[in-house]
Structure 1
Amino acid sequence: MEKVTCGECGHLNPYGTHLCESCGKPLDEKDKQASMVDMRYEGVARRSQTYNKTVIDKIWNFFSSVKIGVTIIILTLIASSIGTIFPQEMYIPGNVDPAQHYEEEYGIAGLIYYTLGFHNLYGSWWYMALIAGLGISLIIASLDRVVPLYRALKKQKTSRNEGFLKRQRLFSVSETKNAEDMLEKSEDYLRRKRYNVKVENESLLAEKNRFARWGPYINHIGLILFLTGCMLRFFPGMYVDELIWVREGETEAVAGTERQYYVENEKFSIETYDENNETFAPALERAGGSQIKTYQTDAVLYESSGGTVGTEPDLTEIKTDNIEVNHPLRFDDYALYQYDYKLNELNVMSLSMNDRESGETIGTIDIDLFDPQGEYDLGNGYRVVIESYFPNFEFDENGEPSTISDIPDNPAFIFRMFSPEHPDEGEYSFVAIRSNEDIFGENTYEMSFEGVETKNVTALKVRKDHTLPFLIAGGSIFMIGLIQGSYWSHRRIWLRRFGNELWAAGHTNKHWASLKKDFQSLSEKTGLTVPEDKQAKKAMEEETSDGRDDDNGRN
């Protein structure tokens, strides 16, 4: 589309421009006939309001719409609030089935919540699409406005068109015999008021706080950076927030490190407040007994030097530290925080095979509750086979034995005991805590509980966050833009001499009272006629007209 040539100054304006970028002359017939020109975006041509032919134009126009941006924000807020109705999957116990957990904890609502995928809402493709759509909307809406606005403000002339001046919201004409002297006094006063003043061809342009116009767009930059940081959390290697449980004396791979690092729990300990201490005694008594002062893990960090699949990795010790609350173990970009613990978790259970009639002990087996063997040979034709193992035993809805989780909080076994008397079929026995039953009748032998070994378990939170710089930078830039756009206003004052007349006009993007106050002060110093607020006058006339209509109606 061809550019539009201004008939007064000859400036070439992009197609769709309402006010000449250089002199401000109204180019659109509506602006020529209007009592006030539309100064929004300086009357420049915006792509979204000019082009609508190609697919790219339609996509651009869609995302540049403020209504579309607000709609995406509302949808994102609604989706985010739905994700807080029930805990996300990352916050439920890791040893339970999510589908079963949500239904058991929250009933039919929890089942629907899980079925619809809301348990992993913030990592879902459609939520990421909303975030991406919001970011695209911010980018396109900003470019659609900020580029032409910057061009118009940069190219504006000091001497403005008559039609531009008289159609400003604040406008006045001062008749004086010495207009040149009044212009000079105005220049001196406005400079002292920290305006940037330009004088050219008996015209004056005083401008102040132009930087305030860029506040909203700096906001957008901050939001885009913040949204980028949020999205990067779902890219591999950028963000890790995992929980690992490590038993005393055991070594586990550090989650999120692709088995490059391992951590050993040498010892877990708890320190409580001294109940005999006079300082703490009253508080402990009110709290109902001893309270934990701190808990820590004596940890050893290892690095794997590789190894073939299926073999034990070669570990090299690289660091030792005592992990406490608010005192993590840091390495590379990771940190291990003390998060939780479990005392006296069942680890090894000892049982003996006994003759029920004589009470004679045939032999004893030690069962590793986390890695039980399938068969235990006691010698002399005696052996015990574990037919079924239920680490956390319960009866299901059909009355059948089942397990809630893989953690041995309530272990139960179905044993098959072979002996010289029963070498082929064996005898079946069900053994659980506080339960020892024959399954198919009276047994010759039985399994009896002898003892149990326990271990303390520590829960370490693995943290890695490369998105934090994006979030901090985005939030900081957003606040800068918010302050910049809220506390300052872009004010402009135009003065132009026509013989013995001095025309004055003013515009600001907000805080009109401040600009009126500047004009009032300028009038007191120079004798300039204070400009009239056309918008306020029009509103007053409409209010008066409405009042008269109401009076006529009542009469």
Structure 2
Amino acid sequence: MKRLIAWISDLRLAIGLLILIAIASGLGTLVPQQESAELYHRVYDAQPWLGLLNGNAILRLQLDHVYSSSWFLGLLAWLGLSLILCSWRRQWPALQAALRWIDYSSPRQLSKLNLAETLSCSDASQELQRLEDLLSQRGWQVQPHPDRLAARRGASGRVGPLLVHAGLVVLMVGAAWGALAGQRLERFLAPGNELELVNRRGETQLTVALEGFGIERDPAGRPEQFRSQLRLQPGDPNAAVPLPASTETISVNHPLRFQGMTVYQADWALAAIQVQLGQSPILELPLQSFPQLGDQVWGIVLPTRPDGSNPVLLALSSEQGPVTAYSAEAEILGTLVPGGGPAEIAGIPLRIAGVVPASGLLLKRDPGVPLVYAGFAIALAGGALSLIATRQLWAIAEPKQHKLHVAGLCNRNLAAFSRELPALLTELQQG
């Protein structure tokens, strides 16, 4: 059992687990996450990822949801156990040892330390007292004894490694909790539509309505920013009077946090096109994406004959247009501008009254976020404390020999302490 605990708490194992977790996180970045199974088959069956993994392999290896997969959570649990055992076996005893005072009583013991000096003085006891006062003035903790003293500074630095381990464990618990208990919903909403979020009992918790959506573009027509005006209506089945609604605006990199949920402006799309055939009323027809025509191309197939024959395809890539009409033989029949005049397409006067864009909203509820932030804060605090050098100093006076023996230890930056100690003794001799 002891050998197993020693193996689990080994630093090399922890480093290996960190590397595996970093690689797994990279896979989660490269492979689209939490999409439909059809998407993985459509994208990776024809061209396997890395030439090895098709859609079935990605789904079987749980690469479609890396951060909530059983093997990724297992790696986190393994690393957490390794850090806990390492802290219990090494860091905690090291902290206890650092907080204990070590009492050296003979000059011979001091001579074996890394830094050791011997001063000749007329009154060694008086020099020892002056050294105690000087150390106290400089912020050292001093423990005096008859004809000797022990001092230390920076003992809080020994808490740093323990806090780093604790912070990492808290962070991983938060990440695992968020992956298991978190909720994620991505939807496209057109202005005027709304989305209801219900709990497990079927009660409406929140209604999100899109009141307006705009796309800001650069002079070349490329989208730069998306903004959505949202109306949030909290739902409470126990409230006698409906709770007041609030209106908020979100954009890319400026999400909304509301009642433990975060709403992100994630994407955009084209929802519908408003067409007029001759003197007919304006018809609002839904658009669908055509990935075979391009990355962001939407369109609709319209028949031009009562029997559904001779169809034309209206395709566009922006709410500003232009809208290009194609025949069944992929010939360009004409180009129309939203809000412009009509054009004759396949013998029919056709006008594009407008295009309705849709806002891509990502709603996430992650109960582990506070723990993740707390873990980061604890780990950063521990890392900062770890930079503090712990310095220890001992002094023994020999009044009969008129000598004062001084020696010190430092756990890091020994070169700086080797300069500080002689400077301290020089100041002591100069009075």
Does the pair score TM above 0.5? yes
- Change over 3 Å in CA distance of 1:152–1:348 after alignment to 2: same
- The correspondence of residues 24-43 of structure 1 with structure 2, limited to 5 A, is none
* Shift in CA distance, 256/122, structure 1 to aligned 2, threshold 3 Å: farther
Q: In the alignment, what sits opposite 1:457?
A: 358
Match of 1:497 in 2: 397
How far is the alpha carbon of 1:393 from its aligned partner? 8.8
My pick for the range that moved more, 322-331 or 97-106, is 322-331
Q: Which region of structure 1 is more displaced relative to structure 2, 325-334 or 136-145?
A: 325-334
Which of 133, 139, 153 is 1:194 aligned to?
Answer: 139
Segment drifting more, 263-272 vs 509-518: 263-272
TM-score (norm. length: structure 2): 0.70
Between structure 1 and structure 2, the one with the greater Rg is: 1
Counterpart in the other structure of 2:267: 340
Does the 8 A contact of 1:255 with 1:462 survive in 2?
no
Equivalent in the alignment of 2:187: 244
Alpha-carbon distance in 2 for matches of 1:217, 1:290: 50
Aligned pair partner of 1:303 in 223, 232, 235: 235
Q: Is the 8 A contact 2:213 2:359 kept in 1?
A: no
1:466 maps to 367
Kept in 2, the 8 Å contact 1:249–1:264? The answer is no
Q: Is 1:483 paired with 2:355?
A: no
SS at match of 1:489: coil
Does structure 2 retain, via aligned residues, the 8 Å contact 1:187–1:197?
A: yes
- Does the 8 Å contact 1:244/1:254 carry over to 2? no
1:102 to 28, 34, 44: 44
Give the Cα separation in 1 of the matches to 2:228 and 2:386.
49
Asked if 1 retains the 8 angstrom alpha-carbon contact of 2:151 and 2:392, the reply is: yes
Where does 1:415-426 land on structure 2 (aligned, <5 Å)?
none
CA gap of 1:95–1:497, structure 2 versus 1, over 3 A, is closer
3-state DSSP of counterpart to 1:345: strand
Match for residue 182 of structure 1? Answer: 127
Aligned positions of 1:165-176 closer than 5 A? 165-174=110-119
1:235 aligns with 2:235: no
Partner amino acid for 1:513? A
Structure 1 residue 253 corresponds to structure 2 residue 153: no
Partner Cα distance (2:189, 2:89) in 1: 55
Percent of matched pairs sharing the same residue: 19
Deviation at 1:272, TM superposition (A): 6.1
Separation in structure 2 between the aligned mates of residue 78 and residue 134 of structure 1, nearest angstrom: 14
- Indicate which of 130, 135, 139 corresponds to 2:80: 135
Aligned partner of 2:408 in structure 1 is 506
Structure 1 residue 490: deviation in Å? 1.2
Q: CA deviation at 1:182?
A: 2.9
Aligned pairs, number: 378
**Distance (Å, rounded) in 2 between the aligned partners of 1:188 and 1:317:** 67
Q: Please give the per-residue CA displacement for 1:416-446, whole angstroms capped at 9, x wherever unaligned.
A: x9xxxxxxxxxx977854689xxxxxxxxxx
CA RMSD of aligned residues (A): 4.5
Q: Give the number of the structure with larger relative contact order, counting CA–CA contacts within 8 Å between residues 6 or more apart.
A: 2
Q: Which amino acid aligns with 2:409?
A: H
Q: Contact conserved, 1:266 with 1:300, CA < 8 A, in 2?
A: no
What is the deviation of 1:205?
0.8
Provide the residue aligned with 1:277 in structure 2: none
Gaps of 5+ in 2: 278-282, 314-326, 329-347
| Cα separation, 1, equivalents of 2:210 and 2:70 | 42
Matched, 1:62 2:62: no
> Deviation at 1:62?
1.9
User: 474-483 or 157-166: which moved more?
Assistant: 157-166
User: Equivalent residue for 1:388?
Assistant: none
Query: Is the Cα–Cα contact under 8 Å of residues 393 and 410 in structure 1 kept in the other structure?
Result: no
Q: What's the secondary structure of 2:195's corresponding residue? A: strand
